[in-house]
Amino acid sequence: MKKKTDSPGVFIPPPIIYLLIFLSSFLLQRAVPIKPSVNYYLTLSVGIIFIISSIAVLIAAIGLFIKSKNTLITIKPANSLQTTGIYSFTRNPMYLGLMLLYTGIAMIIVNWWALILLPALVLIVTYFIIKPEERYLERSFGLLYLQYKREVRRWI
């Protein structure tokens, strides 16, 4: 079973990683501009839909964490395993919500580098945040987490 000091061991807050990749896209846009001809109102509309979806997902996920008095800090141990509500559709709704927000903002400001970097962001979040968290949750919640992991997808 888990030790009281055990944690996922993710020392960089995940939103910082999203922000760093997004800021990198601005540097790339300055160095190697991509300016495709697109309908701005279409990208604006799609971006707004992504942001609204992001807000809904994040409110649902954070609300459950607050209700269960669980921690959002990735270096602290979890108080409980979230498996209901939005967590019954995705094991990582907060990271999904941040991804939707990232994509929505990229669409609104028409930053194609941010979209090009999106697969790299997914890989970084998966391998350096989600996988360590999954190993921690297996140590902490054992069979309960393994069953949940079989039933619910990592992203969507």
Query: How does pLDDT run across 78-103, given as a tens digit for each residue?
Result: 889 999 999 999 999 999 999 999 99
| Rounded Cα distance, 27 and 151, in Å | 40
41-72 confidence digits (pLDDT tens): 999 999 999 999 999 999 999 999 899 988 78
Q: Any residues with CB less than 8 A from the CB of 100 and at least 6 apart, and which?
A: 50, 51, 53, 54, 57
Decide if pLDDT at 2 tops 80: no
Q: Quick check: pTM over 0.85?
A: yes
